Amino acid sequence: MTTILIITTIQAWFFLTLIISTKKLKQSFDYLLATWLFVIGLHTLIYYLMYSSNTINVYGAIINAAIPFLQGPFLFLYVRTKSLYKIRLSLIDAVHFIPFFAFIIFQIINSQVLFGKPSNDQHHIFIGFFQDFNPFGIFFLLSLPIYIGLSYWVSIKARSLNPDKSIWIKMLILFVGGIWISSVLSLLVPNLINHTLQVGFNSLIFISLTGFVYFISYFGIKQNIFSTDIPKIGAIKYSKSKILDDEAELIWSNLNQHLKTKKPYLDPNINLNQLSSQMGVTTHKLSQVINAKSNLSFNELINKQRVDEVKNMINSNEYKNLSLLGMALEAGFNSKATFNRAFKKIENCTPSEYMKQHSS
């Protein structure tokens, strides 16, 4: 058992060092993952010291017992920032860590020592919030699967994720789910059977944590999580503003969805500032993505959408009573000259010629 604990600590802190030292363009999710690994390493180190020599004082034991409350928030915040590119965490995100601090305060006020009874001349330390099925234990049992579900929902919501990155996140969620199952077996089932079995199930949590850390190392290296950010083809386009390939893909996907569902181009006064505000991204990033993904300027992209709208009207019986100019105005053009010029540039024919070719 002590070997497992010390290996997990070394592995966790080794890989957080890789994240901090090798990535040049670190994002919020990199710092979150590094902090998460630090907490896991601290958790196993404290347990190792308590298990082997009983050298940790009560406060160290209390902090160690509270650490499981951090697993759900770290998973959710990491997946959210990784999937949706929410660059900055806000103060409201601190709400997720309230149970961690509440448990510590509760234990200190009540002076509850979290040591289990010695077994075979060894001191085994058990997580204390399951004693007598108090509200903290019930909260942990319910909250972690909720965080797992929310994390999975967020990963599904980010449809434009690179498939490899999507697999990385889903595997991460799966492993945390395995840790939760191990926790349930360790903390709930043994209390209904006997103390000896509890020791074995308690070890299962830390075996799961070891597997979790090795999983991060294997898939992290495979997915270039720890490697230096070497620009790929196409990433050079975004180097000046430090916009990454995945973020550009996400913005482009969201833009196409927004154009399809909201049709902002129907507003003849739409501009880049307004569209970027609707999208929740900076004008600079949106302009870069449009240029890189479509080889068009903002105005050219909007005019293309309007031309496509006019073509749909021409091919629909619903608008047979409208003239070409009426269709153009409906599609967001504000003058006949602009409409004719944009249509000919995109379709290589005039609107009248297109209408004759496609009239039934």
DSSP states of 242-285 as a string? Answer: T--HHHHHHHHHHHHHHHHHT-GGGSTT--HHHHHHHHTS-HHH
pLDDT value of residue 113? 45
pLDDT-derived band at 91, boundaries 50, 70, 90: confident
Q: For the chain, give percent helix, strand, coil, nearest 5.
A: 75, 0, 25
Q: Give me the pLDDT at residue 119, please.
A: 39
Same domain? For 218 and 243 the reply is no
Q: Are residues 161 and 87 in the same domain?
A: yes
User: Is it the case that residue 308 has pLDDT exceeding 80?
Assistant: yes
Q: Is residue 177 part of a domain?
A: yes
List the single range of 96-105, 139-148, 206-215, 326-335 with lowest mean pLDDT.
Answer: 206-215
Q: Which two tokens stand for residue 329?
A: 């105005």
Cβ partners under 8 Å of residue 348, min gap 6: none
Task: Let me know whether 188 and 119 are in one domain.
Answer: yes
Last residue within a domain, chosen from 167, 201, 222: 222
Alpha carbons 254 and 249: distance in angstroms, whole number: 9
Identify whether 6 is part of a domain: yes
Our CA angle for 45, 49, 55, nearest 5°, is: 140
User: How much is the pLDDT for 159?
Assistant: 56
- The answer to the question of residue 229 being in a domain is no
Position 311 in a domain: yes
Task: Clarify whether residues 198 and 254 are in a common domain.
Answer: no
292 and 218 within one domain: no
Q: Which of 192, 222, 252 is the last residue of a domain?
A: 222
Q: Do 61 and 190 share a structural domain? A: yes
pLDDT band at 124; cut points 50, 70, 90: very low
**Confidence band (pLDDT; 50, 70, 90) for 242?**
low
Q: Greater confidence, 299 or 172?
A: 299
Do 238 and 288 touch, CB atoms closer than 8 A?
Answer: yes
Instruction: Answer yes or no: do 173 and 312 share one domain.
Output: no
> Quick check: is 76 in a domain?
yes
The pLDDT assigned to 169 comes to: 78
Range of the domain at 341: 235-358
Between CA 76 and CA 82 the distance in angstroms is 10
Instruction: Examine the pLDDT at 193 and tell me if it is beyond 60.
Output: no
The tally of domains found in the chain comes to 2
In a domain, 230, yes or no: no
> Is the Cβ–Cβ distance between 44 and 206 less than 8 Å?
yes
**Which residue, among 277, 274, 272, 322, has the nearest Cα to 297 in the 3D structure?**
272
- The radius of gyration of the chain from alpha carbons, rounded to an integer in Å, stands at 28
Label residue 261 by pLDDT band (50, 70, 90): very high
**67-76, 235-244, 303-312: which has the highest mean pLDDT?**
303-312
- Burial (0-12, 13-18, 19+ Cβ within 10 Å), 250: buried
Tell me: do 119 and 182 sit in the same domain: yes
* Angstrom distance (rounded) from CA 351 to CA 330: 15
Does residue 170 sit in the same domain as residue 297? no
- Asked if residue 124 lies in contact with residue 211, where contact means CB atoms within 8 angstroms, the answer is no
- Last residue within a domain, chosen from 164, 189, 222: 222
User: The CATH number of the domain where 353 resides is what?
Assistant: 1.10.10.60
